[in-house]
């Protein structure tokens, strides 16, 4: 329970369905700024979030626990982010948070406590598939991860690392409900989180400025801003802080009265330079029909039928794009898209679908 409305309603629904429910708030490592007075956090919301979760549990008359996973979060989410940014990649911390914290440390702890299932407020669904023959019914079950019914809130993109074992022990109570209805249910159940705003930003921590955060771990390194003719027109504090397509975080010193916004269209980590253009269509890094994937995970436990066409997205909320999956060697896969993909970003996740079924994904190399 994060203290938000989605996990609150999930809890109430499960109790109403007859489950013996225990609420668990996960306490994670918090970012402290060396520049802030007395090490004040960037945004300290966890105490209020924990209190909100406790209030919901009190309202529903169920037990409440706080699970400390600070070490796991620091190692698998924060340290991972810093490593990736240092080499010029743009990681997705929410994916790692789900893998190592919610479905890592929390899942393992819950199973050791004797839980039959864990549940979260993710907008996604699970389907069971059994053997085809009558004598196999109920045996050799396979579990599929499906997109949430609310397409504006679908979170399957962040859950491509899940396994059959995890899916078999997981419930997503609001996956087939649209967000407005979730808020109505929260009011119906008398939950204090009914009108609480959705959290934004880094998983469990909230909204922080990534550059301000990284400055505490990666030393600033002044670099040049180049135009498309390689003329120096500005400066920045480090190419590793910046992302392709970004239109802020650097200073243009060679300005004209009619200047339009500049977009980062390329970056060179070795030379610590970025190239900018006023035409976002000229983003040149990794425009391609082919994407190489690392750390691939197939949710079913094996690769799908490679003779078929599928669809994939290379960033959250991007419309699905048609592609084929190509196995280059054992365990090494590429996505070959029908249309060229723009602003492909190393370190982000490419997630693959067969209609509404999330097949798995990998890290873009």
Helix (H) / strand (E) element for 266: namely: strand 263-268
Catalytic site residue 358?
no
Contact 113, 107 (CB under 8 A): no
DSSP result, 103-132: IIIIHHHHHHTT-S-EE---SEEEEEE--S
CA-based nearest residue to 306, from 351, 263, 359:
359
**Which 3 state secondary structure label does DSSP give 153?**
coil
CB-CB neighbours of 9 under 10 Å: 27
Helix (H) / strand (E) element for 82: namely: helix 79-86
Phi/psi-derived region of residue 316, left when phi > 0, alpha when psi is between -120 and 50, beta in every other case:
beta
Catalytic site residue 97?
yes
**271 burial level (CB within 10 Å; 0-12, 13-18, 19+):** exposed
Which residue in 44, 57, 97, 323 is the catalytic one? 97
Tokens 């794009």 correspond to 321
Secondary structure E strands in 30-165: 64-68, 118-119, 124-129, 142-147
**Which 3 state secondary structure label does DSSP give 99?**
helix
* CA dist list (Å): 216 to 69, 78, 82, 132, 204: 22, 12, 10, 56, 19
Angle between helices 179-188 and 5-16 (to 10 degrees): 60
CA-based nearest residue to 142, from 127, 152, 121:
127
Which residue in 57, 203, 323, 358 is the catalytic one? 203
Catalytic positions, please?
97, 203
């Amino acid at each position: 329970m994060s203290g938000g409305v989605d996990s609150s309603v999930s809890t109430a629904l499960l109790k109403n369905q007859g489950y013996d429910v225990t609420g668990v708030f996960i306490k994670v490592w918090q970012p402290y700024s060396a520049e802030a007075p007395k090490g004040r956090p960037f945004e300290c919301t966890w105490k209020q979030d924990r209190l909100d979760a406790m209030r919901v549990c009190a309202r529903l008359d169920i037990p409440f626990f706080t699970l400390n996973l600070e070490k796991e979060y620091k190692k698998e989410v924060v340290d991972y982010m810093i490593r990736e940014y240092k080499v010029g990649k743009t990681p997705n911390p929410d994916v790692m948070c789900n893998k190592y914290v919610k479905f890592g440390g929390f899942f393992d702890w819950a199973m050791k406590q004797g839980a039959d299932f864990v549940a979260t407020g993710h907008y996604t669904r699970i389907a069971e598939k059994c053997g085809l023959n009558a004598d196999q019914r109920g045996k050799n079950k396979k579990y599929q991860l499906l997109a949430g019914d609310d397409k504006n809130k679908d979170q399957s993109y962040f859950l491509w690392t899940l396994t059959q074992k995890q899916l078999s022990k997981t419930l997503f109570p609001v996956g087939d409900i649209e967000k407005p209805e979730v808020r109505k249910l929260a009011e119906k159940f008398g939950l204090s989180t009914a009108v609480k705003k959705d959290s934004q930003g880094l998983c469990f921590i909230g909204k922080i400025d990534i550059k301000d955060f990284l400055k505490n771990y990666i030393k600033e390194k002044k670099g040049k801003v180049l135009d498309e003719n390689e003329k120096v027109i500005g400066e920045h504090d480090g190419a590793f802080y910046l992302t392709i397509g970004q239109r802020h975080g650097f200073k243009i010193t060679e300005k004209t009265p009619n200047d339009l916004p500049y977009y980062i269209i390329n970056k060179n980590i070795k030379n610590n330079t970025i190239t900018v253009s006023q035409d976002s269509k000229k983003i040149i890094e990794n425009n391609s029909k082919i994407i190489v994937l690392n750390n691939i995970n197939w949710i079913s436990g094996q690769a799908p039928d490679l003779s078929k066409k599928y669809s994939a997205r290379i960033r959250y909320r991007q419309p699905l794009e048609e592609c084929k999956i190509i196995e280059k060697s054992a365990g090494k896969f590429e996505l070959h898209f029908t249309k060229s993909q723009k602003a492909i970003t190393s370190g982000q996740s490419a997630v693959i679908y067969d209609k509404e079924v999330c097949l798995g994904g990998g890290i873009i190399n």
